[in-house]
Amino acid sequence: MDYSKLFRLDGRSAVVFGGGSGIGREAARALAGQGASVTCADRDLAAAGEAATLAGENARAYHLDLLEPGAVERAASELGDTDIVVLTAATNVRKRLLDYTREEFDSVLALNLGATFDVLRAFGAGMVERGRGSIVVFSSIRSLTVEPGQSAYAATKAGIVQLVRTAAAEFGPAGVRVNAVAPGVVETPLTEQIKADPDWYQAYADKSALGRWAGAEELAGAVAYLASDAASYVTGSVLFVDGGWTAVDGRYVPPGS
């Protein structure tokens, strides 16, 4: 084993769904930094282009709306043999259950869970046929711990974990690995509502062991690890990158401690 190349991805092709911003953009940069040829796929083509520019000469932009019927299958065909797939795209409607409409519920499920199903099937098929590949899907701490207003989002993120585990079980014999990353609170466009409220923002920061939010770039290392040979025996796993949130959630610091 040449440990100097443990995390290198030279000669491998990757696609990052949701690669135009936030965690997806940083994941694309990290994969390109390790030598992969990266496709930044996003419904916002301009954002995908900016992300590809940041990732370097081995990156390109690709327009894709994950909710468009047949779009994921078309992408799997057009992008050719893909070694690494990363899915970060997600949405959330923060409302209590009694205020939720079925339309809002369905919209969250369609992107968070439905797109995961489509990506696993469309890209997993080619990987199984070729006998290699790594798929990384983003779950959340909300797959494990919830709060008021997170019903649909939490349900989808828990569902993603079980889809990932099932795909890992089914694709594993062919040499294909499937894992999930579960972030805590991260500075991304999806969390703008929280960041706009200083008290809410600080309350979330205080919940983690590190006492702060994560930058999107702090999730990129987990993606690069799971995509690389460093994780060659890791599949069906959920990697929590949450600053210790789930380890200390609800903690109480006694007086004098």
Residue 35 to residue 6: CA distance in whole angstroms: 12
Q: Is 153 a catalytic residue?
A: yes
Q: Which domains does the chain have, with CATH numbers?
A: 9-241 (3.40.50.720)
Residues 14-26 have a mean pLDDT of 97
> Is the CB of residue 159 less than 8 Å from the CB of residue 108?
no
CA 203 remoteness from chain centre:
24
Residue 137 to residue 140: CA distance in whole angstroms: 10
Q: What is the pLDDT of residue 196?
A: 86
pLDDT exceeds 80 at position 254? no
> pTM for the full model?
0.95
Question: What value does the mean pLDDT of the chain take?
Answer: 95
Q: What is the pLDDT of residue 252?
A: 63
| pLDDT tens, position by position, 129-187 | 999 999 999 999 999 999 899 999 999 999 999 999 999 999 999 999 999 999 999 98
HSE, side-chain direction, 13 A CA sphere, residue 240: 14
Residues 202-224 have a mean pLDDT of 94
Strand partners, 241: 183
Residues 197-216 have a mean pLDDT of 91
Query: For residue 256, what pLDDT band results from cuts at 50, 70 and 90?
Result: low
Catalytic residue among 153, 204, 225, 233: 153
pLDDT exceeds 60 at position 257? no
Residue 151 to residue 227: CA distance in whole angstroms: 30
If 0-12 CB within 10 Å is exposed, 13-18 middle and 19+ buried, where does residue 172 land?
middle
pLDDT exceeds 90 at position 229? yes
Residues 240-252 have a mean pLDDT of 87
| pLDDT tens, position by position, 171-200 | 999 999 999 999 999 988 777 788 888 888
Q: What is the pLDDT of residue 191?
A: 79
**Quick one: what percent of the chain has pLDDT higher than 90?**
87
Query: For residue 23, what pLDDT band results from cuts at 50, 70 and 90?
Result: very high
**Quick one: what percent of the chain has pLDDT higher than 70?**
97
| pLDDT tens, position by position, 43-91 | 999 999 999 999 999 999 999 999 999 999 999 999 999 999 999 999 9
Q: What is the pLDDT of residue 192?
A: 79
Residues 105-114 have a mean pLDDT of 98
Cα dihedral value 39, 43, 47, 49, nearest 10: 40
